[in-house]
Amino acid sequence: MGHIKLSQVSKRFGEVEVIPPLDLTIADGEFTVFVGPSGCGKSTLLRLIAGLEDVSAGHIEIDGADTTHVPPAKRGLAMVFQSYALYPHMSVKKNIAFPMRMAGVPLEEQERRISAAAEALNLTDYLDRRPGQLSGGQRQRVAIGRAIVREPQAFLFDEPLSNLDAALRVGMRMEIAELHKKLKTTMIYVTHDQVEAMTMADKIVVLRAGVIEQVGSPLELYHAPCNEFVAGFIGSPKMNLIKGAEAQKHGAATIGIRPEHVDVSASEGLWKATVGVAEHLGSDTFLHIHGVPGCDPLTVRVDGELPVKHGDEIFLTPQLEKLHRFDAQGLRVA
């Protein structure tokens, strides 16, 4: 069980209100991702749930019990830190055993859980090493192992992959997602990388300056972002936001169209424009296009085979049914 409920939770550091009062419910077994730009309060929110920071106001419930003032160790949550926070003078095995040792788990049971975790995380050959003798990915796995053996109500991850290189990041992303499928335990995962959020989450919570902008499944956020911020944050490459006369034609202050929802033609279309930089990824090509009124450059995603190059004149037509409209406050117009 790992049902977490925040009611009117807020946090201030001195005079600065980092998190204005917010409500959030995380269902049991759900993989929830907090995503938002750096400094928006994601870590603070996670630390409030963990109990490492005290709330300034509001209540936190875990499984129906009020845990607002319960110390971190008693909340039944395990956390994986950005710096891994392994104990450098202990072997991998001792690191993983530490929470069980503190809880007084019998030795045989400890051994059983350690070998199970080591097996699941490919750490069996490294149990006697010190953290300093491991690679970044292995350290990450030890930190996860230390969390798993506690058999917590929920896992909390604070940007666990941000110290890894790109290739390893993709691999670990899969491993954590698979771990969730296997354990079916509630997980809360903090990241500033919307790709991580989109690929792993059951539910994404988009934060800006401590305020929840939108909560929803990855595809809900992709198809129906509730405001310009979410529209620009979710999706890669970013959604094109067009202001001015073009937007007014659609009765909105701003219109948004994703790069993959613009048709390209050599002979006819709504907008005539010039290709700036063309980024060839092989499977796709991203074109940065100049000359569209109200948005410069406009990004378009086309098939990798399409023969376009810098300086070409082309015609663009947005797919009208995929167009997003926002009012002067940046809110979505249905």
Ligand X SMILES: Nc1ncnc2c1ncn2[C@@H]1O[C@H](COP(=O)(O)OP(=O)(O)O)[C@@H](O)[C@H]1O
Binding site for ligand X (CB under 6 A): 13, 18, 36, 38-44
Of 62 and 295, which CB lies nearer to another protein in the complex structure? 62
Of 121 and 147, which CB lies nearer to another protein in the complex structure? 147
Contact in structure between 258 and 321 (CB atoms under 8 Å): no
**DSSP assignment string, 58-115:** EEEEETTEE-TTS-GGGGTEEEE-TT----TTS-HHHHHHHHHHHHT--HHHHHHHHH
Of 38 and 329, which CB lies nearer to ligand X in the complex structure? 38
For residue 196, the minimal CB distance to Mg ion (Å) is 13
Neighbours of 325 (CB within 10 A): 16
Of 18 and 292, which CB lies nearer to ligand X in the complex structure? 18
For residue 38, the minimal CB distance to ligand X (Å) is 4
Of 105 and 278, which CB lies nearer to another protein in the complex structure? 105
44 binds Mg ion (CB under 5 A): no
85 binds another protein (CB under 8 A): yes
Among 1, 27, 102, 116, binds another protein (CB under 8 A): 102
Order across the sheet with 324-326: list the strands: 240-243, 254-257, 324-326
Closest CA to 26 of 46, 41, 51: 46
Map the footprint of another protein across residues 40-69, applying CB under 8 A: 50-52
Among 5, 11, 43, 227, binds Mg ion (CB under 5 A): 43
Contact in structure between 10 and 55 (CB atoms under 8 Å): yes
For residue 40, the minimal CB distance to ligand X (Å) is 4
Of 13 and 87, which CB lies nearer to ligand X in the complex structure? 13
- Of all residues in the shown chain, the one whose CB is closest to ligand X is 43
**DSSP assignment string, 132-171:** GGS-HHHHHHHHHHHHHTT--SEEEEESTTTTS-HHHHHH
d(CA 41, CA 56): 14
Q: Is the dihedral of CA 273, 275, 277, 278 positive or negative?
A: positive
Among 99, 160, 218, 256, binds another protein (CB under 8 A): 99
Q: Which does 44 bind (CB under 5 to 8 A by kind): another protein, ligand X, Mg ion, none?
A: ligand X
User: What are phi and psi for residue 213, nearest 5 degrees?
Assistant: -85, -40
Q: How many chain residues bind Mg ion (CB under 5 A)?
A: 1
The torsion angle over the Cα atoms of residues 55, 57, 63 and 69, rounded to 10 degrees, is: 60
For residue 32, the minimal CB distance to another protein (Å) is 19
d(CA 137, CA 151): 22
Q: Which residues bind Mg ion (CB under 5 A)?
A: 43
Q: Which residues bind another protein (CB under 8 A)?
A: 50-52, 71-73, 77-79, 81-83, 85-89, 98-99, 102-103, 146, 150
